[in-house]
């Protein structure tokens, strides 16, 4: 039986199958590189770029992480111009070095829109405006400084064992890619210019300080109940002025605050206290009591946010002010889960400041941010020199920028409540601003004790008129 199977027709069928599968595999192999989306060069007005260029080779190479960074740094045009003028030498860190080999904090710093200049400096630091192939590599063992496109010099040297080195990195693949207008060397790791490292260090130490006490957080003078301006500097590590969980009795919907671990207060999560700080800041800032109330009393969102931040997530809160919240109808708030859904649509899982958002909308016109209310995104665009969120009637201006920014949580005050585009715009919101008066019953329904306390406090110091909802 066995011998019958081996000979004749079945054998040639196996051969044909093998051939067919082989052809399929090799076709797939050839297809693969082009199937991956790659950055493409902007076809500049001046004749475009030679397909044999070192720049095209870089974007098409296996240095995909670097290619991606070049694109994120918006440097394609700059490099295209440079390669038109002179040969280029590119030092390309291996993917692994860019992917897992760098401090995640540093990577986040580089990718923040407002740090674009740092990212550009970093990338241009890897490019020499001249061809330095392995044959023309400096022969001396004392490092030879050569100017890079970033302006800061790189030091090229040859170690005693005649291994090529650039800055602090070994050249792993000399002449990895050679083209008529330049050469690419594969290197061991990322080269960080001094100016970028210093910028990052400055930012990091600022973030550490402001995580303890938010910069710009207004403080209340306990004697007069007036805001102190500007806030005096408080030594890092001092306890919050008004610890929210200590000062307020938790409502029924509030998950219990995590108890300190046995014997020490060190088991408090970082995120927990950062959320406390930001809610406290909102309360002291004034005009955002309704949102604070929802976060703390109506829902357990504050706890949830604290947990997220403890786990290393960053959040930007688009905080509707009290006037905006007062325009919500009872219907919109009374549905089960409605407050959560509304707030989730105002939470962006990114760290954005006024500056970074404004720069983004200036550069790209329209920017879509993810929200925690999946899958809905919130659209931002430039309007009247500010940032405007949402569309049409339901749109909101960035009203009180950077109420709180500590490097992980950013709070930006806006002047309307946002709804995903699919949902009908609240009827009240479509009315002209002057006609927008909250139904009294509704306002009473949502006004917490804190609100009343605030009104009393304001009344005591003759500022009753400041808060419309106090009347
Ligand atoms: C780049 O280098 C090649 C070879 O050294 C040379 O022929 C060419 O003119 C150079 N291109 C520019 C733009 O300088
Ligand atoms: C939450 O409710 C309590 C009790 O009603 C109140 O005292 C407190 O001010 C409220 N918290 C906030 C942040 O509004």
Mutate to test the pocket of ligand 2, among 449, 452, 467, 469 (most ligand atoms within 8 A of CB): 449
pLDDT value for 207: 58
Which residues on adjacent β-strands are paired with residue 409? 315
Domain ranges of the chain: 54-200, 213-439
Q: Which ligand is nearest to the CA of 129?
A: 1
Q: Say yes or no: CB of residue 87 within 6 Å of ligand 1.
A: yes
- Out of 297, 302, 452, 454, give the residue to mutate to test ligand 2, the one with the largest number of ligand atoms within 8 Å of its CB: 297
Position 327 scores a pLDDT of: 86
pLDDT digits (tens, 9 = 90+) for 294-307: 888 877 888 888 88
Ligand 1 centroid – CA 55 distance (Å): 14
Low-confidence ranges of the chain (pLDDT < 50): 1-37, 44-46, 209-218, 229-269, 425, 427-471
Nearest to 126 by CA among 39, 191, 57: 191
For residue 95, report the distance from its CA to the centre of ligand 1, in Å.
28
Ligand 1 center to residue 75 CA distance, Å?
22
Say if CB 80 and CB 49 are below 8 A apart: yes
3-state secondary structure of 38: coil
So what's the pLDDT on residue 362? 87
Measured between alpha carbons, how far is 415 from 396 in angstroms, rounded to an integer? Answer: 5
Specify the pTM: 0.41
Per-residue confidence (pLDDT) for residue 150, from 0 to 100:
94
56/58 Cα distance (integer angstroms) = 5
Provide the strand spans (E) within 44-117.
88-93
Q: Is the CB of 74 under 6 A from ligand 2?
A: no
Q: Is residue 59 exposed (0-12), middle (13-18) or buried (19+ Cβ within 10 Å)?
A: buried
Provide the pLDDT for residue 103: 83
The answer to whether the bond into 282 is cis (omega within 30° of 0) is: no
Please say whether the beta carbons of 49 and 85 come within 8 A: no
How many C-beta atoms lie closer than 10 Å to residue 195's C-beta?
A: 16
Strands 153-158 vs 366-370: parallel, antiparallel or unpaired:
unpaired
Q: Do 166 and 185 contact (CB within 8 A), yes or no?
A: yes
The predicted structure's pLDDT at residue 121? 96
Task: Let me know how many helices (H) and strands (E) the chain has, helices first.
Answer: 19, 16
Contacts (Cβ under 8 Å, ≥6 apart) of 18: none
d(CA 98, CA 88): 21
Q: Note whether 317 and 410 are within 8 A (CB).
A: yes
Smallest-distance ligand from the CA of 136: 1
Whether 54-200 and 213-439 share one fold: the answer is yes
Closest to 407 (Cα-Cα) out of 196, 198, 115, 71:
115
- Residue 181 CA: nearest ligand 1 atom is 1
Instruction: Output the six-digit token pair for 342.
Output: 């509304």
* Contact between 332 and 432 (Cβ < 8 Å): no
Residue with tokens 């030091």: 155
213-439 placed in CATH 2.60.40.2310: no
Q: In what order do the strands lie in the sheet with 347-348?
A: 347-348, 315-320, 409-414, 396-405, 386-389, 377-383, 366-370
Ligand nearest to the CA of 282: 2
What is the model's pLDDT at position 46? 47
Q: Six-digit token pair at 61?
A: 């190479």
Cβ–ligand 2 distance for 248 under 6 Å, the answer yes
- Fold of domain 54-200: FAS1 domain (2.30.180)
Q: Is 443 in the pocket of ligand 2 (CB under 6 A)?
A: no
């Amino acid at each position: 039986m066995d011998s019958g199977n081996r000979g004749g027709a079945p054998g040639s069928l196996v051969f044909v199958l093998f051939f067919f599968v082989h052809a399929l595999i090799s076709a797939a192999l050839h297809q693969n590189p082009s199937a991956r989306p790659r950055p493409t060069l902007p076809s500049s007005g001046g004749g475009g770029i030679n397909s044999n260029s070192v720049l095209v080779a870089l974007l098409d190479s296996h240095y995909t992480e670097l290619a991606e960074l070049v694109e994120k740094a918006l440097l394609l045009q700059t490099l295209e111009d440079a390669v038109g003028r002179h040969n280029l030498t590119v030092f390309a860190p291996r993917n692994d070095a860019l992917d897992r080999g760098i401090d995640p904090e540093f990577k986040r710093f580089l990718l923040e829109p407002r740090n674009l200049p740092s990212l550009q400096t970093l990338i241009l630091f890897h490019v020499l405006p001249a061809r330095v192939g392995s044959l023309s590599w400096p022969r001396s063992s004392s490092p030879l400084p050569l100017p890079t496109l970033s302006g800061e010099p790189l030091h090229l040297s040859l170690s005693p064992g005649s291994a090529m080195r650039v800055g602090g990195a070994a050249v792993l693949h000399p002449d990895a890619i050679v083209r008529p207008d330049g050469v690419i060397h594969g290197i061991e790791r990322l080269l960080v210019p001094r100016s970028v490292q210093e910028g990052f260090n400055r930012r990091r130490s600022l973030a550490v300080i402001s995580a303890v006490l938010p910069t710009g957080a207004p403080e209340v003078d306990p004697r007069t109940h007036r805001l102190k301006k500007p806030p005096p500097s408080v030594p890092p590590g001092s306890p919050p002025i008004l610890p929210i969980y200590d000062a307020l009795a938790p409502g029924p919907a509030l998950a219990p605050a995590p108890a300190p671990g046995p014997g020490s207060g060190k088991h408090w999560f970082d995120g927990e206290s950062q959320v406390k700080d930001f809610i406290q800041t909102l309360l002291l800032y004034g005009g955002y009591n309704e949102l604070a109330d929802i976060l703390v009393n109506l829902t357990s969102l504050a706890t949830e946010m604290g947990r997220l931040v403890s786990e290393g997530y960053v959040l930007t809160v688009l905080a509707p002010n009290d006037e905006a919240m007062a325009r919500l109808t009872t219907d919109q708030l009374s549905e089960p889960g409605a407050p959560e859904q509304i707030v989730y649509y105002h939470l962006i899982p990114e760290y954005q400041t006024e500056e970074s958002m404004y720069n983004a909308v200036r550069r790209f016109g329209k920017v879509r941010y993810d929200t925690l209310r999946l899958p809905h995104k919130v659209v931002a665009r430039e309007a009247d020199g500010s940032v405007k969120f949402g569309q049409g009637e339901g749109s909101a201006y960035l009203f009180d920028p950077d109420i709180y920014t500590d490097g992980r949580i950013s709070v930006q005050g806006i002047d309307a409540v946002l709804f995903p585009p699919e949902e009908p715009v609240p009827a009240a919101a479509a009315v002209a601003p002057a006609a927008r008066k909250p139904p009294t019953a509704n306002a009473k329904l949502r006004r917490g004790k804190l609100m009343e306390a605030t009104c009393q406090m304001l009344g005591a110091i003759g500022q009753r008129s400041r808060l419309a909802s106090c009347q």
